[in-house]
Each structure stands twice: as structure tokens, then as C-alpha cells.
Amino acid sequence: MKIIHILILLIVITLLSSNSTFSQTDSGTMPRIIEKDGRHALLVDGKPFFMLGGQAHNSSGWPGMLPNVWLSVKAMHANTLEIPIYWEQIEAQPGRFDFSLVDTLLMQAREHNIHLVLLWFATWKNGSNHYMPEWMKRDAVKYPNITGASGQPVDSPSPHTKAAMKADAKAFAAVMGHLKKADEQHTVLMVQVENEPGSWDSVRDYSEIANKLIAGPVPAELLKPEILKSLNRPSDAKGTWREVFGKDADEYFHAWSVASYIGYVAAAGKAEYPLPMYVNSALRDPLTNPPASTYESGGATDNVISIWKAAAPALDLAAPDIYLPGTEQELKVLELYARPDNPLFVPETGSSAEYAKFIYKVIAYGGIGFSPFGIDDNGQNAGEAGTAERLSAIAQEYAIINPMMRDLAKWGFEGKVKAVVERDDRAPQSIDLGKWQATVIFNSQEARVVQTGNRSISKAMIVQLGENEFILIGTLCRITFRPAGSDLGKAWQYLKVEEGNYENGIYKLLRIRNGDETDWGGPRFGSVPAVLHATLITR
């Protein structure tokens, strides 16, 4: 063969092999989650991306409801819409799939330049089977619910029924296979598998088949020393569920059963198209270790995350839906879900100011997204003004963060962001910044002026750009600095405090803050977030 032929052959081989790397499963362009030093980034187009999300109401994924959904997304300055897709609609006839609503969502999201997180409402929706197709609901023998401790019916599907699990996996795989073909642009960033799975009203299934399983041995996957340790059990424990887990056996067994089922469904979808996938959870009080009978048992609550990890490796993360009533509980939840093996993502929370403040903490943890629930007006036609008013607390945060989102996502991933939120005691909080210590004083007097009642809503975020250089973002607080470490006690001053805004990733100066705007205890933040760029020196 002549040299020229060999060269042509080599070029053809290179082109063919590089062509295959342009397929949608290309790890360079697929949305994917990476981890470094226990922090995470969701890579979109190969770069860290923070989902400024909003979730539509449960029944708003229908074409006639979408105009108000997009109105809300726009009013919020969101970059991602979380929206349900429904098993009952997609597979109304067994084995016949209708992806028309999915296609409408893809098309409209692209028109609005918004990413999607699709929520697969299937076997479990808030613990019930209500989104199963009619043909399944009509066949309670083949697709049973669980049985309560006294034999009573419970409105929650059985995780022990292989027929339902296989049907769900088949339908979900069809959805993911369709997405692979229909979404070359990667409009969809992640998929939530089911919705708040588990069971209300019964800690587990007490059917004959479940009773038999729980009397058997704990599966080997759970008997690994690190998992047993995380569940406060001796590293060599083995035996039946009751022998290994004692009083927690019922809940742990149910968590294992639900997670195994969903892990199977997720794996079937991932085999078609490996987008990041997660499960969302209704929470328990993370501070008081309440009995499982008081919350939705079987879901990925903070005490059973390691069981979910072992049972459902196809899921990339367990995500908390934060609606708990107090700041202390929410902060604890964020701490418990931000684990090296679990990227922090808040797929549901309230849209009012007392919840909006937690986005600062999620960014600081190196999390990947935040999303208030129920952003559209659920058919009430609130109009543009009503929508903007309803979403104003979160909208003002997103308006500031969106144009600097890529930078913030990167800084969060690199561990450069620290954040504090006003706690229920409203006490000042300090942030260690190496050569400096910042103290954030929350301004509850101004909080009253903006009529927030008695809620603690203030927060501050500090990005450390250099030893003496910081970006400060916050509301209703004041940030003061003092030299720390070997510089403790030294005289110091602000070299410059700039105030401005990011526009398309570029910082635009509004003014230099000085005089009254930095003296008297450091820069103040009002009820609308500001972005300051501060440089400090010691003398």
C-alpha cells in the first residue's frame, strides 16, 4: 500500500471514530456531575452550571397550562424548569407510548432558552400510585398496594411487585430512549425518577411476601462495614433484618425495598440514555430522630441515604425537598445531604424569602441547583404583575445570580464561596477567610420595614477571589471585617469597595462605595441583593 493510501485510511479511521464521539452519550458534552474534594459540579456544555430552577405545579405539564409556566420562569429569571411527565399519559395503552407532551416541552423550552429537569411521575407520587396508567389501577391484583400492620389497605404501591417494577422500567426506558433521539441539544439536564417515594400511613408493607422477606437475611450489599457504620451498627453484624437493625428494621427494610425498585427503573433508563438522575425526598425532622411512623417511610430521608446509595447506584443523588418550618432544621438538612458521595440539589422548596435565603448555602456547599415549587399560578391567571409579585423574593435573587451563574458555579465547586443565613436567634455570625474574619450582622429592623413579619430572611455570601479580595452578596445585613491569624490586631482599611452588577458574566461598575456607605461598621445590604467587590489592606 502506498504511503498516500495509508494516510487516507488513517484519516478515514480517525473521522469514523471521532464521529462516534459526537453521539449523545459523549461524556464531553452530556450533562454530567463531577466531584472534587467532596464538592460537586453539574457540567453543562463542559462547564459548571448552577440550576436556578422553578418547579411547575403537578398538573401543569399540559400544553394549555404552559403559557403561565413560561411567564413564571421568565418572571423568576430562572434558567431551568422542573416539570412533571406523566406515566398515565405517556402509556395510556399498555406498550403504546405517546411522547407528544415531552416533545412539546422540549420545543417550548428551546424557544424560551431554558433547560429542563423532567420529573417522572410514575409508580410513586408522594407515596401513592396515582400516576400509574388506568390499566394498572384497574388491576389491583397484579399491581397491588401495600398492606398496613393490621391488614388495612394503604394508599401506597407495593415495592415487592415485579410486574409493576418491570412495567415502570420499560416505560421509563422508552422515555429515555426517546429523549436520546429527540434531545441532541441536551435541553434536559437531569431526570427525577418518581416523586417523593415511600409510604405515608405505614412504616412498611406487611403483606405476606414482605413479612417473609423481612424474616430473611439482610442482603450482602448492606452488610459492608462502611454502610453498617453509617447506620450505627457493628461492622460485622449479620442475620435477619430484625437481628441486624433492631427497632429500625421496618423502616430500613422498606427503604431498601423502595430504593431497589427505583434503582432498577433508573438503571433501565440510564442504559438507554445516561443523564444524571435523582430521587427527591419528603423529609423528617433532622434534629430529633422521630419515629418513622411520623413521616413518609421508605424515602431517602437523611437517616437512610446510605441504604439508598447501596440499593440504587444508578441514581446520582438523593435530594431533599425543604419545607421544614425552621431555619435550624433546614440548615441541618443541607449539611446532611451535602456529602462527598451526594451532590447537594434542592429540587423543591417554598418561593418566599424565608426559603430563598438557602440558595446561598447550596452554592457555598458546592451544590448544583435550587428550585422553588409551584411557580405557575395553577390556572388562576394571575397575569404578569401578579406572577412577578408572587415570585419576587426568589426572582430578585435569581436576577442577581443568573448573569454571574457560570462564575458562581465554578467558585462554589472550587470551595471559594462561604455563606451564612440569618438563624432563628438572629445573632451575628462570623466567617473565617484566612487572613480576615468577616462578621455578618443581620438587620432585623430593616426586615420589619419590608414587612417580613418575624421571619429570619437575611443572608450573605462571600466569594474569596484572593487573600484580600472578595465578592460580597447579601440582603438585610452588614458585613464587617477584621484582620485575623498572624495579622490579628493590625490596622486596616478598605482599599476599594465597588458596587455593580454582572451582565452576561461581566462585572459592570455602578459606583465606588465609600464614606457613609462603608464606614460605620462596613457595607450594608438592603432588601434587594447587591454585589460588591471589596479589596482590603492592612497597614
Taking the least distance from each CB to ligand DGJ, the nearer of 251 and 321 is: 321
Find the shortest distance in angstroms from Cβ 126 to ligand DGJ.
Answer: 5
Q: How far apart are CA 225 and CA 324, in angstroms?
A: 32
Q: How far apart are CA 442 and CA 325, in angstroms?
A: 20
- From the number of C-beta atoms within 10 Å of its C-beta (0-12, 13-18, 19+), residue 151 rates as exposed
Q: Which residue is nearest to ligand DGJ (CB)?
A: 196
Taking the least distance from each CB to ligand DGJ, the nearer of 57 and 77 is: 57
Coil, strand or helix: which one is 488?
coil
Find the shortest distance in angstroms from Cβ 119 to ligand DGJ.
Answer: 8
Find the shortest distance in angstroms from Cβ 84 to ligand DGJ.
Answer: 8
Taking the least distance from each CB to ligand DGJ, the nearer of 59 and 93 is: 59
Taking the least distance from each CB to ligand DGJ, the nearer of 128 and 147 is: 128
CA-wise closest residue to 38 among 412, 434, 433 = 412
Find the shortest distance in angstroms from Cβ 256 to ligand DGJ.
Answer: 22
Taking the least distance from each CB to ligand DGJ, the nearer of 373 and 502 is: 373
Coil, strand or helix: which one is 461?
strand
| Three-state helix/strand/coil letters over 256-270 | HHHHHHHHHHHHHHH
Per the DSSP assignment, residues forming a β-bridge with 436 are: 483
Residue pair 307/231 in contact by the 8 Å Cβ criterion: yes
CA 490, chain centre distance (Å)? 43
What DSSP character marks residue 115? E
Find the shortest distance in angstroms from Cβ 56 to ligand DGJ.
Answer: 10
Taking the least distance from each CB to ligand DGJ, the nearer of 144 and 320 is: 320
Residue pair 275/26 in contact by the 8 Å Cβ criterion: no
Coil, strand or helix: which one is 96?
strand
Find the shortest distance in angstroms from Cβ 320 to ligand DGJ.
Answer: 11
> How big is the chain, counted in residues?
539
Taking the least distance from each CB to ligand DGJ, the nearer of 200 and 241 is: 200
Amino acid at 62: W
Taking the least distance from each CB to ligand DGJ, the nearer of 282 and 531 is: 282
Q: Which residues bind ligand DGJ (CB under 6 A)?
A: 58, 126, 195-196, 321, 348, 373
Find the shortest distance in angstroms from Cβ 81 to ligand DGJ.
Answer: 14
Taking the least distance from each CB to ligand DGJ, the nearer of 121 and 365 is: 121
Residue pair 201/154 in contact by the 8 Å Cβ criterion: yes
Find the shortest distance in angstroms from Cβ 58 to ligand DGJ.
Answer: 5
Find the shortest distance in angstroms from Cβ 68 to ligand DGJ.
Answer: 17
Cell of 353: 424569602
Helices (H) and strands (E) in the chain, counts: 18, 24
- From the number of C-beta atoms within 10 Å of its C-beta (0-12, 13-18, 19+), residue 234 rates as exposed
Q: How far apart are CA 140 and CA 130, in angstroms?
A: 13
